[in-house]
Amino acid sequence: MRLLPPLPPRPRATALAGGLAAALLLSGCGAGTGTPEPAPSSAPSSEPSAAAPADGSGGPSYVALGDSYTSAPFVPQTDVAGGCFRSDDNYPAQVAEALGARLTDVSCAGADTSDVRRPQLDGVPPQADALGPDAELVTVSMGGNDGGVFSTLVGQCGRPGVAATDCSRPISAATESRLRERLGRTATDLARVLRLAARRAPDARVLAVGYPVIVAGDACDALPLSAASQAAAARLNTELNDAVRTAARRAGATYVDVAAATEGHDICAEDPWVNGATTDQQRALAFHPFAAEQRAVAEAVVAAVWR
């Protein structure tokens, strides 16, 4: 069911606005949990494909760039071809349906901002190759894998056979300071990606999509971190989104505040929208979004398009 009618035609000189990207957590993208193993119920393709195009029956062209918080492994059916683990019901798919758009989804688990310009995996071209002058909407969601910010926090949490105690080592003040400094560089890298998207798709509106609230103040079994590490992760979760917002501002892009849309649904909440340390191949990769989070992101993106 469509939330909104298709994007209306617009003069090519004034298309929608321009913008970039962001990303997050504990691999917000595949780092920290390892490469996901395909579930038996997933729908693997017999031929590796670099992108997942969808026919919007002649609607506007929409290109989605991102990491695993965009590809959303195991939410629910997942294309395992090529190693990008794109869900058939991730937020780009829902946005495309809502807008009646033709989707090209090149999001890929483990991607960082450098993978926009260079091949990430064998058979997976640079994500920027999907951008072109016909695009009317571009979303970019990455940054959490840059410099291993969140994978540093969670270490091996979520890997099979790793005890929770192995994830409980406190994060030192020096480590947190280093990660915070790295986020400053991430904002610069994201701004470059946003500007590249605007150049490659000059008539497109470019949206920098942030990350959800993954870690808040409360501890729980699903997030086996020490109290100090959890507090540091919560701060860095916020600061990563600040980096995305800063990048969008620098590049003249539209920032989509996913944290606001997902507040109260962190890993340890009563109704979590992000999975904890155990991968559920019917629902979500460890430390990655459930279907409810992807619905919330899709609604936030659609709302941003029509602002």
Catalytic machinery residues: 68, 288
Q: Helix 173-200 and helix 227-251: axis angle, to 10°?
A: 30
Instruction: Give the integer Cα–Cα distance in Å for 189 and 187.
Output: 6
Provide CB contacts within 8 A for 183, sequence distance 6+. 149, 236, 239, 240, 242, 243
Amino acid identity for residue 62 in this structure: Y
- E strand or H helix at 166, and its extent? none
Given a contact cutoff of 8 angstroms between Cβ atoms, the answer to whether 46 and 67 are in contact is no
Instruction: Give the integer Cα–Cα distance in Å for 136 and 233.
Output: 35
Instruction: Give the integer Cα–Cα distance in Å for 172 and 138.
Output: 38
For residue 189, the 8-state DSSP code is H
Per-residue exposure over 105-143, b if at least 16 CB sit within 10 Å of its own CB, e if not: bbbbbbbbbebbeeebbeebebbbbbbeeebbbbbbbbb
Instruction: Give the integer Cα–Cα distance in Å for 99 and 83.
Output: 28
Per-residue exposure over 39-66, b if at least 16 CB sit within 10 Å of its own CB, e if not: beebeeeeebebbbeeebeebbbbbbbb
Strand partners, 102: 61
